[in-house]
Chains A and B, each alone.
Chain A
Amino acid sequence: MAELTKAEQPVSAAKVAYRYNQRQKYKYPDAVTLVPAFDLTKLPGPNDEVVSVALGDKEIRRTLPATAERPATEMVSKVATQEQLKYLYEVEKHPHIERYIP
């Protein structure tokens, strides 16, 4: 019996990974979005803390200018982890995140 091709093989939860869509990455290599800071199993509520993550390959840093209400602050968007990408794909149904078999 012929072996199944990679596309035909059943998806094993242990094998799948998540990534930023390649076309989007080409267009917007520095894209950022928000993910929950703690619980990646559900959408954040209005009072839940969120963090900014970079969808591309590199961490992004910038300085948020000072205002009367706050000092200048360094903002860091770290590269999204597999767990965070999984959240975006599975929970948020983000259109630019895809699941693939590495």
Chain B
Amino acid sequence: MGDCTPNEGGIIKSFATKLSNITSVTITSGVISNFTMSSTGLWEEFLYDLDATANFNQVGAINNNRFTVEQTAFMKFRGITEASLAAADAAAQCCDTVWIHVLSSGARLVQGIERLSATGAPQRTKNSNTRIIPTANTDTSANEARTEYTVQGNANSFTNTTSLSDSAILAL
């Protein structure tokens, strides 16, 4: 008999930092259980529109026996302001970013580093940097003006998960 328990999709919030801010990652039974940061307050919390558009997609591909994973997150923030444009401009400058995406189910996926099997320094996504690609779209009068972030990178593996709660991440 099948399992009919609903499994909601989508991401509801994310935390982000620069890869260079992380000095070590602790792995416990394959799960990220701790980060050591170069200083405190380096994880930024991203609260985007909860309109069923935010998502994080990992698409595997194979080419001549070479396996890669394209990792793409999408998030949308209503409105375009001087502050949002300045933030978008700054975000686009950052080459290697690390994201913790919180799913509706409570699971947390860590985008931006290669999958780790043991405690140590994190490695950036090997095949292409995980970068923020911002878009500022006024759209038409029938729709809403918005700022959108696409976070994209290409790795050799799927992401790790983390057991850290929101309060633990913000305590770092």
Residues from chain B with Cβ under 8 Å of A50 in the complex: 168, 171
User: Which of B30-38, B79-87, B136-144, B147-155 is found at the contact surface with chain A?
Assistant: B30-38
Q: How large is the interface on B (under 10, 10 to 19, 20 to 34, 35 or more residues)?
A: 20 to 34
- Shortest Cβ distance from residue A73 to the other chain B in the assembled complex, whole angstroms: 8
Interface string of B23-51 (1 = CB under 8 A from A): 11010100001111111110001010000
A55 partner residues in chain B, CB cutoff 8 A: 36
| A22 CB–B CB distance under 8 Å | no
* A91 smallest CB distance to B (angstroms): 10
Nearest CB of chain A from residue B34's CB, rounded to whole Å: 5
A32-B40, A43-B28 known; A52-B119 Cβ under 8 A: no
Interface size class of A (residues with CB under 8 A): 20 to 34
Instruction: Evaluate whether A28 and B38 lie within 8 angstroms (CB atoms) in the complex, with A43-B33, A67-B47, A93-B119 already known.
Output: yes
Contact sample, A vs B, 29 pairs, CB 8 Å cutoff: A28-B39, A30-B38, A30-B39, A30-B40, A32-B40, A32-B172, A34-B34, A34-B35, A34-B171, A44-B33, A46-B163, A50-B171, A52-B171, A52-B172, A60-B39, A60-B40, A62-B40, A64-B41, A64-B170, A75-B40, A75-B170, A75-B171, A77-B40, A92-B26, A94-B36, A95-B119, A95-B120, A95-B121, A96-B36
